[in-house]
Structure 1
Amino acid sequence: MVHMLFLSALLLLVAFLVGSAPVGHAVLSRSGVNVRVTNAYNLGVENVLHRVGPGLAFVTALLDAAKGFLAILMASSVNSPELSVLAGLAAYLGHLNPPRALYGQTPPRGRGNLVLLGVMAGLAVTGAVPLWVAALPVVVYAGVAGFWGYVTAATLAGVLAFTLAVAALPLGPAAKLAALGLLVAAGWRFKENLGRMLDGTEPRLGEAVPMAGRRSDEVVAAFMIHPMTLENFWSARRFAWLRPLVEKGLISEAGVRQMAESLRPMKVGELQGIRTTDGKSIRCYLLSSPLLPDVFRDNPDLATRRAIEGARLAQELGAEVFGLGAFWSVVGNKGVDVQAAVPDITITNGGAYTSGTIKAAIPGILAHFAAEGRDLKQATAAVVGANGVVAFGIARTIAPQVGKVIMIGRDLERLERSAATLRRAAKDTEIVTTTSYDTLKEADLIFTATSDPNPVIFPQHVKSGAWIFDEGRPADVDESVQAIPGVRVIPGGVVRPPGGMTSHIDLQFGEGQVPACLAETLIIAATGEHGRKSLGPQTLTENINFFVEQAAKLGFEVVD
């Protein structure tokens, strides 16, 4: 008895190791294929066929199926149907979770469908289960895939059919639990695909996933977003079901926040229909790890780790450029650490074109201000967030044109160093530095560009008739400021891409419009000028000018 238990355990261990062997990965690697980009889990069989050709695709598929078949064949030596089903589960788990102790950095994992096919073939050939039980999941898979088109749904339906069939057989509880384990493992493996189905972004059979280099007139980019509030969190279809549970008190808001912090980056949408004036089509994946703004401040290490994971996902999806939006743009030393961790894809924080859109918008704002009979030389302008690169750029632009500039920031010593530079360049302008928002009450013009997750400008800070250019994302100006007589709030850094952009994700910049940092990501992809990426705190003037010029050529429009 002990001997049989030992032999059974050994066979299950061997089945796991056989299933974990990255044979397909090894064949593709030796053939010079980029195995991280050629990842069936993200791209699907059709795109793998396109990437590597039918010959290599067939060989790797056959090897994966052979792993499942071999595991069952070895287990059949004991002549125990229960052990054979358990061996199938062990091989599948090994394929999904190859141990790092053996293979180092875990290779990209496939869906495991071909391993399951090999398991079913092995169970049928060895007689561990009746032929109809092994054939049933294949028939169900084909029917669901043909009718609905989702490989995810077809796989889970097939495994469910197998689990129910095994439950109906006169087998021991070990076999029934093993079949249930296959269903649970497949469900966990496909959880992200299920989320994409809910969001409407999971491709069906026949809908090839766009990849860099697939079409000569199409480029692919990716952009990282996050919810600004729980309201944004609910807007994703895959999380909408949580809202009524929170409202009824069945789940706490703190519990939802904790869950959001545990989620790895996922694909939540796409921007389609963007086409430049020179005929280049741009498709952009929207990725998200749903961290709320306070997490970026309180746990920057987690935010950086999620940004790195997002960059890897973007690369696996075939994107050439990965943009960091909103608070993602400040993590990891403003993208430097993310680029170092994922060197094979271009990372940008979007700072250059963001500065460019401001540079392009300011002359128009000042001209409109003057056209209303207001004397710029007698006007006081305030710049909020002046410790930052973008806000200091604003201060440098407006200083020679107004009578007084109030620079507001958190670090007074740094502000004074910046102010000294401005005083040398604009000798006739009074430059004041302060950390107090109360001084905003003097300003006729307010330019604000902070990275604060909450509004920083309220009615008590603003006088009647002031104009406010709000570059903050999320907005620096509280909505209540709009009620002050004569106040005009102008959103900054909003761009309309060329063509008819569509997306089911509301980016909250207006229909058909995107933030400038996202537009920079698209422009890099369209031009192929990857060296123009924005990383770190410094933004080169030549890159700012480049994006302004290229945006105009490609048909991007700054929204006034």
Structure 2
Amino acid sequence: MLFLSALLLLVAFLVGSLPVGHALLTRAGVNVRATNAHNLGVENVLRRVGPGLAFATAALDAAKGFLAVLMASSLHVPDVTVLSALAAYLGHLNPPRRLYGETPPRGRGNLVLLGVLAGLAVTGAAPLWAAALPVVVYAGVSGYWGFVSLGTLAGLAAFTLAMALLPAGVPSRLAALGLLVAATWRFKENLGRILDGTEPRLGDQVPLAGKRSDEVVSAFMIHPMTLEDFWVTQRFAWLRPLVARGLISEASVRQMAESIRPMKVGELRGIRTVDGKSIRCYLLSSPLLPDVFRDQPELATRRAIEGARLAHELGAEVVGLGAFWSVVGNKGQDVQAAVPQITVTNGGAYTSGTIKAAIPGILAHFAATGRDLKDATAAVVGANGVVAFGIARTIAPQVKTLIMIGRDMERLERSAATLRRAAKDTEIITTTAYDTLQEADLIFTATSDPNPVIFPHHVKTGAWIFDEGRPADVDASVLARPDVRVIPGGVVRPPGGMTTNIDLQFGAGAVPACLAETLIIAATGEHGRKSLGAQTLTENVNFFVEEAQKLGFEVVD
């Protein structure tokens, strides 16, 4: 009997894992991954492929759950029958990969649950009222709050309670609890999005990938700059007091962060261009801290690729790589190669454009204070980088002395040689020492260092600093000096009344230029203008500056 019971449970698992709905959609020519809104729920399929296919796939999923329970009931052992319900559900959630030939689609499994509940009622393994109770609770919770995942968990909690109150065997009670635990694990991301306020409700119109109307969809990858930023999302806020009390170590949080795949943590809404086009932007995050990008580049690249795939599943046409995401995978090239279905950009072109547009104003304001640029010394920090070298090239002809600071002296010297030919009257100095900043009247900084690099002892009295670093290159202690002026760079205000549930730390209604580039590509459909790799074409820089003005984007001074 024990062997036969185990065999039937294995069969129930295999029946539950059969990709019948997936196969039907695929045979009908439907790209399941591009069709789902990160959850292949029946209402999403109904909205996208019509009632015929939607109800057919729903019926097939329910049928396999019902069949799995019906076969197990042949032993006339209620505990085995209830356990088969759990086995079928687990099979649906975790099918063998070889059945799909790819990563299985992330269906909710609610129709399978409906099938197994019907099977339990028909076979008598559970009373009719106990099998119907979760359906009623599901309908009530989902209908009132609009969250299908919450309704499912509430219904399974009611079923678990009902089985606990019935004179059922321990295996049956554990199986009911197992259904609740499995569903909770399946819906952990949905619960996180509910806490963050980004989970779609029943009836929400989720945009389709590749469909253009008056609304376009984009995505942007962010990450915490410090451990404090980790608590910004509500799904992780509960950890903060535990860490503060020493119940959980910071090292444990960091380790957990490295294991978390990309997830949707926020949205930008209310962005509307001058020509009336609405831009929705999903904020995605795998909460890697800056040191991880430096120490584990392979992990960071893998997470960026996963983020691009998630963006595509969510219906985005373009995904931007923000902060340290922008430098992973050869500055986005490897990410684009791995996920060709969506446009990937590191935002370098418009970032350079905003800096190019801001520098004349900064120099003019500096000169207006009575200082002569021809007698001034300027320094560029991070001059080995594309953005910082662009700054150096712009200001070199206008100042007496230019100090280029970087990490690679050989590269610095090659860059300096180019500038010396173009600005023959300017003294150009290359160095790796930050102490030389003490000689600079103007400092332009654009590094990718995860920590501040400029401190009060580096800065002379009355110096101006243009900080393009993300995170900031200038330590907070410098801001306390009243004689020093720090100007943040690369900040843009999109058109319309932008709202978001995530503080991007660029000021109300403002975003970094790399994110703005993502929005502009989505709005214009000019996907060939994407920024990838180390090279930034001048024509693309000019394109984004011009299009930004046409669409209503404003550079924040």
TM-score class normalised by the smaller sequence: over 0.9
Match of 1:177 among 174, 177, 182: 174
Deviations 1:480-520 (A, max 9, x none): 21233431111000000000000121000000000000000
Say if 2:186 is the partner of 1:189: yes
Aligned residue number for residue 160 of structure 1: 157
* Offset, 1:213: 5.4
Aligned residue number for residue 238 of structure 1: 235
* Offset, 1:340: 1.4
What code does the residue aligned with 1:342 have? V
Match of 1:18 among 6, 10, 15: 15
Say if 2:82 is the partner of 1:115: no
Aligned residue number for residue 198 of structure 1: 195
Q: Which runs of 4+ in 1 moved over 6 A?
A: none
Match of 1:526 among 523, 528, 532: 523
* Offset, 1:409: 0.2
How far apart in 1 are the matches of 2:93 and 2:67?
A: 17
Distance 1:45 1:511, change over 3 A: farther
**Secondary structure of residue in 2 paired with 1:465:** coil
Gaps of 5+ in 2: none
What code does the residue aligned with 1:155 have? T
Aligned residue number for residue 51 of structure 1: 48
How far apart in 2 are the matches of 1:500 and 1:482?
A: 30
Instruction: Say whether the 8 Å CA contact 2:34–2:209 is kept in structure 1.
Output: no
Distance 1:75 1:498, change over 3 A: same
Instruction: Say whether the 8 Å CA contact 1:65–1:114 is kept in structure 2.
Output: yes
How far apart in 2 are the matches of 1:119 and 1:485?
A: 70
What code does the residue aligned with 1:462 have? V
Say if 2:311 is the partner of 1:311: no
What code does the residue aligned with 1:183 have? L
How far apart in 1 are the matches of 2:328 and 2:30?
A: 32
**Secondary structure of residue in 1 paired with 2:7:** helix
* Offset, 1:233: 0.9
**Secondary structure of residue in 2 paired with 1:36:** helix
Is 161-170 or 62-71 further displaced after alignment? 161-170
Gaps of 5+ in 1: none
How far apart in 2 are the matches of 1:323 and 1:104?
A: 29
What code does the residue aligned with 1:419 have? A
Instruction: Say whether the 8 Å CA contact 1:150–1:205 is kept in structure 2.
Output: yes
Match of 2:2 among 5, 12, 16: 5
How far apart in 2 are the matches of 1:215 and 1:292?
A: 35
How far apart in 1 are the matches of 2:230 and 2:455?
A: 26
Aligned residue number for residue 352 of structure 1: 349
What code does the residue aligned with 2:156 have? V
Aligned residue number for residue 398 of structure 1: 395
**Secondary structure of residue in 1 paired with 2:33:** coil
Aligned residue number for residue 546 of structure 2: 549
Distance 1:43 1:213, change over 3 A: farther
Say if 2:506 is the partner of 1:509: yes
Task: Within 5 Å, give how 1:363-374 maps onto structure 2.
Answer: 363-374=360-371
How far apart in 2 are the matches of 1:292 and 1:10?
A: 47
Match of 2:291 among 290, 294, 308: 294
Match of 2:457 among 433, 455, 460: 460
Is 233-242 or 209-218 further displaced after alignment? 209-218
Instruction: Say whether the 8 Å CA contact 1:120–1:134 is kept in structure 2.
Output: yes
Deviations 1:84-141 (A, max 9, x none): 1111111111111111244332221201001000111111122221111111110111
Is 139-148 or 379-388 further displaced after alignment? 139-148
Aligned residue number for residue 440 of structure 1: 437
* Offset, 1:44: 4.5
Deviations 1:353-372 (A, max 9, x none): 10110011111111111122
- Structure 1 length-normalised TM: 0.97
Match of 1:335 among 310, 332, 337: 332
How far apart in 2 are the matches of 1:42 and 1:403?
A: 60
Aligned residue number for residue 224 of structure 1: 221
Instruction: Say whether the 8 Å CA contact 1:42–1:316 is kept in structure 2.
Output: no
How far apart in 2 are the matches of 1:225 and 1:72?
A: 45
Instruction: Say whether the 8 Å CA contact 2:38–2:314 is kept in structure 1.
Output: no
Instruction: Say whether the 8 Å CA contact 1:99–1:106 is kept in structure 2.
Output: no
* Offset, 1:242: 1.0
Q: CA RMSD in A?
A: 1.3
What code does the residue aligned with 1:302 have? L
Say if 2:399 is the partner of 1:412: no
Instruction: Say whether the 8 Å CA contact 2:355–2:391 is kept in structure 1.
Output: yes
Instruction: Say whether the 8 Å CA contact 1:19–1:67 is kept in structure 2.
Output: yes
* Offset, 1:40: 5.6
Aligned residue number for residue 474 of structure 1: 471
Aligned residue number for residue 83 of structure 1: 80
Match of 1:97 among 91, 94, 99: 94
Match of 2:376 among 362, 376, 379: 379
- Structure 2 length-normalised TM: 0.98
Percent of matched pairs sharing the same residue: 85
